[in-house]
Every structure is written in C-alpha cells, then in structure tokens.
A and B are shown apart, each in its own frame.
Chain A
Amino acid sequence: MTSEVLTAYRRPLPLRRGLELVVREVRTESLGVCSVVLERESRGPLPEYVPGSHVLVECAAPTGTTVNAYSLTGSGNSPVDYAISVQFRAGGTGGSAFIHGLVPGDRVQVSLPRNGFAPTATATHHVLVAGGIGITPVLSHAEAAVRWGRPFTVLYGYRDGSAPHLERMRRLCGERLVECVGREALARQLTESLRRQPMGTHLYVCGSGSLTDATLQTARDFGWPEGRLHHEVFDTVALDPGEPFTVRLARSGGELPVPSGVSLLEALEVEGIGVPNLCRQGVCGECRLSVTAGTPVHRDSFLSPAEKSSNTCLMPCVSRSEGPILEVDL
C-alpha cells in the first residue's frame, strides 16, 4: 500500500486514477498531424464520455515527463477505443514528439475523459467553429449531434493541404459543413454566419488562441451574450501538484514530508495518522485542521475568507503550505 503511494508520488491524481492503454494504430491524418488509437489490453469497452471531452496523457519527453490534454474524436457512445489527433510542434514540452513517436504496442497512461466543452442540451442549434487541429473536439460534437438528431453547422477553417479529418467531416456533415480555406475566408464566413443565427443557437470554438479570441469577439460584436459562447478549456487546476513542504506535528513533535502531487491528508494517512474526512475535495469541511505555525495556501471552498486570512486553520485534503514548513495541531 505504502510503496504503491510512494511510486505514484509524482503522477497527478487524474492520471493515477486513470487507465493504462495500448496503442493499436498510428496513422498520418494530414501534414504534421498523426492520429493514435488507444485501447485496453483486453480490447474491452472503455468508459463513455461527453462529446468534446479530452484525456490527459502522460508524455515521456527527453526533458522530463509532461502531461498534455488531447481531445477525443469519437461520439463518446460505448467506445472500445480512444482516438486522439496531435499536431507536431517543434520545441514546446516535447509532448507532441512523444505522441508522434508512438508505435503499435506501446503503453500509455491516460486519465479518464474529462470535459469542459459539453454541448448545451437546450440549444436549438449549435454553430461549431474549428481551425486546423481544433477540428478534434468539433468532430466529437458532430458525431454525437448526428446520432441524436441535433441541428448544427460546422465552420472549418484550414490551410490548403492541411485539413485533418476533412474527408470524415464531409461524409458526416454533408451540407452542414462549411469549409473555409485560409484565415481570411474563415473570418468572412464567421461574420456572415454569426450575424444571423436563430435565437437559441450556441457557439463553440476550438483553434488557436487568436482564432478563438477573434471568433468570440465577432460574436460579442453581434450581441451574443456570454452564456452562448463556449471555448475549450482544459482544467489544469486538478493538475496543479503544488510545491513540496514539510508538515510539523505540534503535539507529537514529528515531521513528515508532503511531496508535490500528494495532499497533506494523504501524506498523514501514509504515516498512519488518520484525519476524519468525507469529500476529499475541499467542500465538506470534515477534515479541518488547526494551524499553529506557518502560512497555508488555501485551495478549498469551505472556509470563509476571514478564516482563510486568519491562517489558523486549513483543509488538508486540498490545501498546502506557502513556505517550507507548516505546523498543525496534531
């Protein structure tokens, strides 16, 4: 038990509770873009997911292991594999080079699917805007929309000769796909489309930062309220492992290390010091500890602002220490 926790120390929680999958297929999708199909060793069913979901993938780069988020390109309905498409980027953290270097049979650690880009159930129409590799979550949306008969339009902007999944989109969407070759054509089409969309339409955009900003700005200029605007957000909060620190136990006098990626609550439990707890997510208030020295970094949603600034208590399931040492009343 202990050793298991120790070896998993540096792996962020979503990956520790994730899946080890095997590469079944690697194929070139378009210039600089490859698709990787992952499956269970047993080839059994994988957890279903919401359209527009992503997985976190552990990428072993020469400079160290990084965790990247990649959109899943299926509808999410009873999947037996997870497919991602990745654009090669020179430089960066090396995540894309790792993916492009995968061969069938390789093992990859991925999180369970996560979502910050779900369709809106009450929408009367979805306008899905994709730029280049940003087509991946849009493909997932389009698959699910076809399945459930939801009305949608895709505006797909790409550079000539570099349009991942174009054939699949054409087959899937038919006349619901509007292709725009080049940035200017896409900008013109956006102006044209966003000017006159029926009430009840929701806008989804995935692409480079500048494309996303420009799309949302165009929509705002036409009076779209924020509640109708959606862009892909990879939640990195869950990933933030925090700085390592040492916890000093005021009553018993001991000291314990709290490594990066391990909560104070877990570090105490590893040493057999149980603190009553319920949610382990900083909302229920059950595991509250008194702080006798040091300054907590509060990451919970239970304590009031006054309690937080008093520096006299913290929720060890999520909160950490500002400095190298934190003393608690244990």
Chain B
Amino acid sequence: MTATTVEKGTAAPEREGVRVRWRIALSFSEEDRTRLVEHLGPEMDRTMYAEYVAREYGRDQAAWLENHLRSAFVGTRLVLSGPSTAVRAAQRDALEAGLIGEEIELLERPDTEKRVYCPHCRCTTTAAASASMVQCSGCRLVLEVFEHFSRGLSAYLGAVAGAEDVAARTGEAAA
C-alpha cells in the first residue's frame, strides 16, 4: 500500500481533443498499475497528481479518494484500474463527490468475486463471481443472483431462490 502525491505543472499538449490538467489514479495491484501506465502513456507523467496502489477499496482508500477529490479543481480526471467490485465502489463515491461520468476513466477487469444485495434483510454478501446462488450472510436465505446492478449499493440483486416451489422451504434449498 503506497500512496504518492506528485505536483505537476499545467502546460501540456492536448489528448484526443480534450485537455486534461490533472489526474488522480487508484489501482488495486501492481498489474493494474502497469495497465494504467500503458493506458496513459506520456500523459502519465504530464498529468498525474496523486496516485495510490491499494489492495482493496475500504475505509482508508475511500477517505484518501474523498480528500483528493475535495481539494481538486475542474480539469481533473479520476482513473480507476482494477477488479470491477472495487472500481465500481470507488466510482460511486466519486460520483457522489460531484464528478460526472466523463471525468472517470475505468480500467475495469473481471473480478473473482461479486457483492450480492439481499432485499429481504438488506444485507450484502460477497460471492464467487460465477455464482448464480449464494446464501445471504444476514438472513441465511439462499438467494438467486440476477444480472441487475445497483450503483448506489455497488452490488448485484439477489432474491430468495425456489420460493415459488410449493415443496421448497426457506433455508434447505441450498443448491
């Protein structure tokens, strides 16, 4: 976990017709950072204002991001490189801080896990990315996982599985 802040000048050439003055970047592994460097090319040195290579997106990282966004000026872009769960959670916080879609560059890669929201007890459970069923860590119901994603909760929608089958009883339907 290394956080580095680098002050840069403002004079620079244009990139894709849009001038970016500063960038704030959050990567979630050294490989993710490598992809970030490749993606930005010479822009990396020219625009990078603050950079953080983290292992996860937790309270510390959220606080770091919020601090930097709060002190940033318009003309800044946020670059997020890493697994989709962490990237999307950071994206949500950035939008809440007032960024707009155009200001966030996503270098998202498939995750090994995903978050699933249980609407019945309002808990969120972490499951394998490929899981179509998961047991809710809150109410213990077995949830079917849908391809419906909430930016606000940063999670996929679950709903109790097999509940319409007359024979099925909640709890024992673990598939």
Beyond the given pairs A219-B74, A222-B75, 15 more chain A to chain B contacts, judged by CB atoms under 8 angstroms and listed by A's residue number, are A196-B73, A199-B70, A199-B97, A200-B97, A200-B98, A200-B99, A220-B18, A222-B21, A223-B19, A223-B22, A223-B74, A225-B18, A225-B103, A227-B100, A227-B101
A199–B98 touching, CB < 8 Å: yes
Kindly count the residue-residue contacts between A and B in the assembled complex, taking CB atoms under 8 Å apart: 55
| B19: contacting residue among A122, A123, A197, A221, CB under 8 A | A221
B residues less than 8 Å from A122 (CB atoms): 98
| A224: contacting residue among B69, B72, B74, B98, CB under 8 A | B74
Instruction: For the complex of A and B, list the 5 residue pairs with the smallest distance between their C-beta atoms, beginning with the closest.
Output: A200-B98, A223-B75, A225-B102, A223-B21, A227-B100
| B75: contacting residue among A123, A124, A200, A224, CB under 8 A | A224
The answer for the CA separation of A220 and B74 in the assembled complex, in Å, is: 10
B19–A198 touching, CB < 8 Å: no
How many residues of B sit at the interface, in one of the four size bands?
10 to 19
B102–A226 touching, CB < 8 Å: yes
A residues less than 8 Å from B98 (CB atoms): 122-124, 199-200
Q: Which of A181-202 contact B (CB under 8 A)?
A: 194-201
Closest-CB distance, B83 to chain A (whole angstroms): 25
B36 proximal to A (CB < 8 A) = no
The answer for the CA separation of A223 and B11 in the assembled complex, in Å, is: 11
Q: Which of B41-79 contact A (CB under 8 A)?
A: 69-70, 72-76
The answer for the CA separation of A199 and B74 in the assembled complex, in Å, is: 5
A299 proximal to B (CB < 8 A) = no
A198–B103 touching, CB < 8 Å: no
The answer for the CA separation of A122 and B73 in the assembled complex, in Å, is: 16
B residues less than 8 Å from A197 (CB atoms): 73-74
Closest-CB distance, B73 to chain A (whole angstroms): 5
A residues less than 8 Å from B70 (CB atoms): 198-199
B118 proximal to A (CB < 8 A) = no
Q: Which of A159-208 contact B (CB under 8 A)?
A: 194-201
Closest-CB distance, A202 to chain B (whole angstroms): 9
Chain B CB within 10 A, most for which of A122, A220, A223? A223
Name which residue of chain B comes closest to A197, CB basis. B74
A198–B102 touching, CB < 8 Å: no
A228 proximal to B (CB < 8 A) = yes
Closest-CB distance, B119 to chain A (whole angstroms): 26
A228–B19 touching, CB < 8 Å: no
B133 proximal to A (CB < 8 A) = no
B74–A198 touching, CB < 8 Å: yes
B102–A223 touching, CB < 8 Å: no
Interface string of B99-113 (1 = CB under 8 A from A): 111110000000000
Interface string of A221-246 (1 = CB under 8 A from B): 11111111000000000000000000
